[in-house]
Amino acid sequence: MKIGILAWECEDEDELESLIITQVAHDRGHDSVFFGINDITCAAVSGGGVPQIRGEAASTFDVIVSRYVFGSPVVDLLG
């Protein structure tokens, strides 16, 4: 299984739990990728765009896990 773990904090040490989840998934034989919001892009293709995570089509992932907590200060920045 290919698992993406979306980080919301800027520094890896702020995402210790997410890093642990990524490592545990890897230890259990899964292809796990830890990535930040800035790693998400959109590749232009004829007829539209393809969302990508670190240069890979998002559709190649079986699941994306986001550990974001609603109500954090980021919501205020987006609202």
pLDDT in tens, 7-24: 876 555 667 888 888 899
Flag whether the pTM goes above 0.75.
no
Q: Domains of the chain by range and CATH?
A: 2-78 (3.40.50)
Q: Which residues pair with 7 in a beta bridge?
A: 36
What does residue 11 show for φ and ψ, rounded to 5 degrees? Answer: -110, 140
Dist. CA 17–CA 33, nearest whole Å: 14
What whole-number distance in Å separates Cα of residue 53 and Cα of residue 50?
10
Residue type, 14: D
pLDDT digits (tens, 9 = 90+) for 44-55: 888 889 999 999
Residue 36 and residue 64 in contact, taking contact as beta carbons nearer than 8 Å: no
Instruction: Work out the pLDDT band at 76, boundaries 50, 70, 90.
Output: low
For residue 4, give both structure tokens: 């993406």
